[in-house]
Structure 1
Amino acid sequence: MGRIEESVEVAAPLDEVYRHWVRCEDFPQFMRADGSESVTTEVVEGERVAWAGATGPVNHSGVVTFHQVDAGTTRLMLQLEIEPHGLWEHLAEALGFVDRRVIDDLNDFKHHVEARATPMAG
């Protein structure tokens, strides 16, 4: 089983970043679908969301936590445990493709949120 840990800073307040993360219907706008479905296993409002993969080509589970950097910046930290099945999935993991995809998806999420962020009152 592989473990991936990545983070990204989003130029938006924590509550807004959290709200976008939990709106799962928006995920296809910024994350590539891989045929996996997940079940939420834990929610701590505004702080943490955990899940486990229910179906798909790769067993996975993960947790994302939200950390306020300042009034207008949030650090999103992702920990993902994956267990690939089959030759292609193992090869993709070994070559770092899964890490790269996670980084790309987090950056896409960052841009998705920042494009819709409510401007901070000055």
Structure 2
Amino acid sequence: MSTLEEHVDVGVPIDEAWDSLHRVENYPRFVAGVREARTEAGGRAHLDIEASGRSREIEAELSDRAAERVMEWQTTGAPDLMGSFTLQPIDDNHTRIQARLEYDPDTVREALGGPKGFAQANAIERTVRSDLEHFKECVEQGR
């Protein structure tokens, strides 16, 4: 498994960032490739994605450690992915969001396509960074 960690600082209070992160239906606005997303019963999320010209449906289980401001997730099928978002207050009006993604590069390539090896790791890193920046824009603009 490979691990990627990225963070972004957003100009909103921690409660606002936390609430925005839990609005799964808004993920298409800031997560690359997500065409539709919805919350389902039992702490699950359903995502319709398109990556490298391939359409795919992904199910994930979500769990919260609300007191610690940690949201964890794991796909329930291929590709096998897991990760978390940890929110930390910087001050009353700013929050750091730490994203952690654990993945097997070969599994991701088989399921979603894309480059091999080091180029794939760079592409995933760029995508996660971009998604965090888009989340920052969305949450700060109140969308």
Query: Structure 2-normalised TM-score?
Result: 0.72
* Structure 1 unaligned blocks of 5 or more: 118-122
- Residues 14-49 of structure 1 show CA distances to partners (whole Å, capped at 9, x for unaligned) of 000000001101101111224333111x30226000
Q: Output the amino acid matched with 1:38.
A: A
1:22 corresponds to which residue? 22
Is the aligned partner of 1:113 residue 2:109? no
Q: Which residue of 2 aligns with 1:66?
A: 87
Q: What is residue 5 of structure 2 aligned with on the other side?
A: 5
Residue 43 of structure 1 aligns with which residue? 64
Q: What residue in structure 1 maps to residue 41 of structure 2?
A: none
RMSD: 2.0
The letter for the 2-side match of 1:30 is F
Q: 2:104 aligns with which of 66, 83, 88?
A: 83
Matching residue's letter, 1:103: R
TM-score w.r.t. the length of structure 1 is: 0.84
Which residue number in structure 2 is paired with residue 94 of structure 1?
Answer: 118
Count of matched residue positions in the alignment of Structure 1 and Structure 2: 114
Deviation at residue 90 of structure 1 after TM alignment: 6.3
CA apart distance, 1:108 = 0.5
List runs of 5+ in structure 2 lacking aligned partners.
35-48, 50-55
Higher RCO structure, 1 or 2 (CA under 8 Å, sep 6+): 1
Cα shift readout 1:63-116 (whole Å, capped 9, x = no counterpart): 11000001110000011101132394561x621100100000000001010000
Q: Which amino acid aligns with 2:3?
A: R
